[in-house]
Amino acid sequence: MPDAIFIREARPDDWPVIAEFNCRLALETENKQLDPATIENGVRTLIQEPARGRYFLAVIDDCVVGQLMHTREWSDWRNGDIWWLQSVYVADGFRRRSVFRRLYQHLQTLAENDPRVVGIRLYVEHSNARAQETYRSLGMTGGGYEVMEQMFVSIPLAADESAGSSGSLRP
């Protein structure tokens, strides 16, 4: 029998595991080592200011095994909020065990029951066919958009990466 997956909103004392998962995510997907102080402050800020968005955690036997974050975008065309999925991470060893599916279904239910929410979006790397397949299996479709950006602050990287050497996820 599979372990029971419990989904809950992040609490202030969850910031260390969320920051660690975000560092792992950046390393695994973009080969970037994030600056721990910056990511910790970013995680704490979101938890303290839920109007910006929220983290939801997947927990098995009192252990956090996955997360997702959503932020809000206003759509004047639809007169409502679009929730963007971000910081999706499932710990190694718990992948392909429906952890993300449960996180997504939880968020989807919240969105469907909130009359202010008109949809859910995420961005996915063009080359990440496995993730695209997962998202399609949950009912998501291509939005027909190419994400473009102009950033005014670069991603702060860990000191060892910015100097060109490899280092650990956390000092």
pLDDT in tens, 82-110: 999 999 999 999 998 999 999 999 999 99
pTM greater than 0.75: yes
Question: How many Cβ atoms from other residues are within 10 Å of residue 5's Cβ?
Answer: 18
Rounded to whole angstroms, how far apart are CA atoms 21 and 51? Answer: 22
User: 6-162 falls under which CATH superfamily?
Assistant: Gcn5-related N-acetyltransferase (GNAT) (3.40.630.30)
At 149-165, the pLDDT tens digits run 888 888 888 876 555 44
Percent of the chain clearing pLDDT 90 (strictly above): 68
Model pLDDT for residues 128-153, shown as the tens digit of each residue: 888 888 899 999 988 888 888 888 88
Of all helices (H) and strands (E), which one includes residue 75?
strand 63-75
